[in-house]
Amino acid sequence: MSDYYETLGVARDASQDQIKKAYRRLARELHPDVAGPDAEDRFKDVSRAYEVLSHPDKRQQYDLGSDPSAPGGGQGGGFGFQDIFETFFGGGAQQSGPVPRSRRGQDALVRLDVELAEATFGARRELQVDTAVVCGTCSGSCCAPGTSPRTCETCHGRGTVQRVARSFLGQVMTTQPCAACQGFGTVIPEPCPECSGEGRVRSRRTITVNVPAGVDTGTRIKLTSQGEVGPGGGPAGDLYVEIRERNHETFVRRGDDLHCTLQVPMTAAALGTVLQLETLDGEQEVDLRPGTQPGQVITLKGLGVGHLHGGGRGDLDVHVEIQVPTGLDEEQEELLRSLARARGEERPEPRLSAAHPSVFGRLRDKFAGRQG
């Protein structure tokens, strides 16, 4: 899909006035009387971009990832790209007929909060959404029961009328949608009382979302044809479910790896032991080797988050934090003094070393380095 903002040379948050000014400038530069026939393709791209970004509804649809200028993606109306392009490059070609009353609906976006365990293993969730659905009274026909559309008396069913329009490009003959029937070629004499002639109504419904393992905050899951039903009971757009992962009280996620801090007594770190750690997979053994140092990392392979694209899982990194005993009684204090004498550490010489950031400080620095 083309980047229409780049085509017009404006930012994605540009105002309607900025978009209009950019288009006018480019249209003058690329006018066939100025740039010649070689500018035809460029003029076509600029006009298509302006036709989408100058309409708030079409711009919103484009920002959600759908191109409303593609076949079936947008609506007719206005002095837009088709009029300008055909007038200057196509000899003023006429539209072939009325636009269909039934059109594709817009895409929809909802957010879903998931727990770390659901992001790790995947989950099946029920989600309530409020979208437009086909009207049950008229089944999308837009007409009251027992009635039908009537041919427009203004355009005689063509859906268009011709008029002379003045613009900054000069005076041109344009083909415009009929104002009496909005370009449909027919009018609804008796609109459906349930949907007011829209062919659709809003309704809350429950859908099932399969959350794959490995999703993270910002991941979007596409549910085809689960979005807004279009006017006239047209086909539904797509529904995008944006994931937001909740923080976990024990584990910190970095990519597909998990990290946690394990606090162990000084004696256990010195002598070594086997500890039981509660993970997302249940209890796992952590082998603490004799002489384990503060900040040491013990990696448990394959106990992290599942990979979103492809099999396997990340790792669980256990960061060891040594607890220094406090509140010693006389007997415990004497035992430690005896150990210090035995190791010649009664009066240790101070030794300076490089600064060591905290466990998660190191994690943050490492992760930032990968992103740089």
- What CATH number did the domain enclosing 102 receive? 2.60.260.20
CATH code, domain carrying 31: 1.10.287.110
pLDDT score for 311: 86
pLDDT score for 78: 41
**What whole-number distance in Å separates Cα of residue 250 and Cα of residue 278?**
10
pTM score, whole prediction: 0.62
Q: Are residues 197 and 287 in the same domain?
A: no
- Segment holding 369, helix H or strand E: helix 359-371
pLDDT score for 173: 67
Q: Is 277 left (phi over 0), alpha (psi -120 to 50) or beta?
A: beta
Q: Which two structure tokens, joined as six digits, stand for 133?
A: 């659905």
The radius of gyration computed from the CA coordinates of the chain, to the nearest angstrom, equals: 33
Answer for the pair 210, 124: CB distance below 8 angstroms, yes or no. Answer: yes
Q: Which two structure tokens, joined as six digits, stand for 76?
A: 């007719």
Q: Are residues 257 and 278 in the same domain?
A: yes
Q: Are residues 31 and 61 in the same domain?
A: yes
Q: Are residues 24 and 105 in the same domain?
A: no
- What residues contact residue 66 under an 8 Å CB cut-off, 6+ apart? 73, 106, 107, 237, 238
**What whole-number distance in Å separates Cα of residue 212 and Cα of residue 216?**
10
What is the residue range of 132's domain?
96-149+188-246
Low-confidence ranges of the chain (pLDDT < 70): 1, 31-38, 70-96, 165-173, 353-372
pLDDT score for 76: 41
**What whole-number distance in Å separates Cα of residue 75 and Cα of residue 58?**
8
Answer for the pair 336, 324: CB distance below 8 angstroms, yes or no. Answer: no
Say how many C-beta atoms besides its own lie within 10 A of residue 129's C-beta: 18
Within-domain flag for 290: yes
Within-domain flag for 143: yes
| Residue of 128, 147, 133, 85 whose CA lies nearest to 105 | 133
Q: Are residues 291 and 361 in the same domain?
A: yes
Last residue of a domain, one of 227, 246, 265: 246
Q: Per-residue pLDDT tens for 73-85?
A: 544 444 445 545 5
* Portion of the chain with pLDDT greater than 90, in percent: 58
Q: What are phi and psi of 60, to 5 degrees?
A: -65, -40
Domain count, the chain: 3
User: Which residues in 197-228 are b (16+ Cβ under 10 Å) and which e?
Assistant: bbbbbeeeeeeebebbbbbeeebeeebeebbb
Last residue of a domain, one of 196, 227, 246: 246
Q: Per-residue pLDDT tens for 297-343?
A: 999 999 999 999 888 999 999 999 999 999 999 999 999 999 989 98
**What whole-number distance in Å separates Cα of residue 171 and Cα of residue 177?**
18
pLDDT score for 94: 47
pLDDT score for 75: 42
